[in-house]
Amino acid sequence: MLDLDYFGQVHSVFNQTVNISTADSRLYSIAAAHIDNAPHNIRVAAPMHFSEMGIQPGDKVEATPGKLLVGKLTIDLADIVLWESILPEFPCKYPANLLEDNTKIMRKCIASNGKSGGLWDVWFSKAACCNQNVFIASLTERAQAFLTALRSKRFDDAYRTGCKLIGLGGGLTPSGDDFCAALLTVMNMPGSPFSEKYQSLGYRLAEAAVRQTTAISQEMLITAAEGQARENVITLLREVISGSEVTIEAAALKVLQMGSLSGTDWAVGLTAGLELGRELAEISEQGGN
């Protein structure tokens, strides 16, 4: 939720969202009411697209008692409901095959409904290994190297390979950033087999992002490192833990619809993180390090 002690300015304007940059270099969002909730987010009922309201990047944002003034837009805060991002507990105590079965459902849904152009090609395209696209080749190599380092708990290598993913791709949140943010989200699930070293790695990567990617993507990685996630992501994690095939697929479809490629890249990253967590939990149960 927006800290009303801050003044700031409009960072960017889209049809469904307005992003606000504050004095402490964080981004907050005003979103249309039908958008799922998210960290540092206010949802409002807007009569038209924000891009049609005359709001411009650089416009002053002012907080007054009970109201938020954003360029020509005045938001009444009286009916704003505070939303808290709470990740579900990692299912270490559940039957051993439950998470494996449910991540298979996720994989099937992503394979059928994900979009090509990013991580989908790495995980689900039979032609990916033969693809001459330099971006896909780099994304494949770096994502796999990052997961390998995480799996073997080589945190310096994980930082190095993770940094090579950040900023890789196009758009406001590149594919490499979406993938990393999804992994960091799973690492922060309460009761997960990911130690504090994994969470410290997340903060290091978020700090590196300041120099390597877009402001919107930086904020996404910071909030992921803090253990915060948007509503649709949290819902999907909850369904993977205790839902049915129908509810898992429904929740996965909502995540897959995020942005252009972002939803697919997030879904792949969440799946990879859950699978990695399951591996680490099994190793721990067997008395491994």
Which of 27, 48, 76 is the C-terminal boundary of a domain?
76
264 within some domain: yes
C-alpha to C-alpha distance for 146 and 151, rounded to whole angstroms: 9
pLDDT in tens, 187-242: 999 999 999 999 999 999 999 998 899 999 999 999 999 999 999 999 999 999 98
pLDDT of residue 127: 52
Domain that holds residue 250: 96-285
66 within some domain: yes
pLDDT in tens, 135-176: 888 998 999 999 999 999 999 999 999 999 999 998 899 999
Report residue 29: phi and psi, to 5°: -130, 145
pLDDT of residue 146: 97
Start-to-end Cα distance in the chain? 39
pLDDT of residue 266: 97
Mark whether 198 and 257 lie in a shared domain.
yes
Taking 50 as the threshold, does the pLDDT of residue 1 lie above it?
no
Average pLDDT over residues 111-138: 79
Of 17, 74, 75, residue with least CA distance to 49: 17
Mark whether 184 and 238 lie in a shared domain.
yes
pLDDT in tens, 182-199: 999 999 999 999 999 999
Mark whether 71 and 179 lie in a shared domain.
no
For residues 207, 210, 216 and 217, what is the CA-based torsion angle, rounded to 10 degrees?
-60
Cβ–Cβ under 8 Å, residues 4 and 63: yes
Cβ–Cβ under 8 Å, residues 31 and 41: yes
pLDDT in tens, 4-37: 444 689 999 999 999 999 888 889 999 999 999 9
Q: Which two tokens stand for residue 27?
A: 């981004």
228 contacts: CB under 8 Å, gap ≥ 6: 39, 85
pLDDT of residue 286: 73
pLDDT of residue 287: 67
Which of 76, 109, 124 is the C-terminal boundary of a domain?
76
pLDDT of residue 92: 80
**Site of tokens 């509810």:** 247
Mark whether 54 and 173 lie in a shared domain.
no
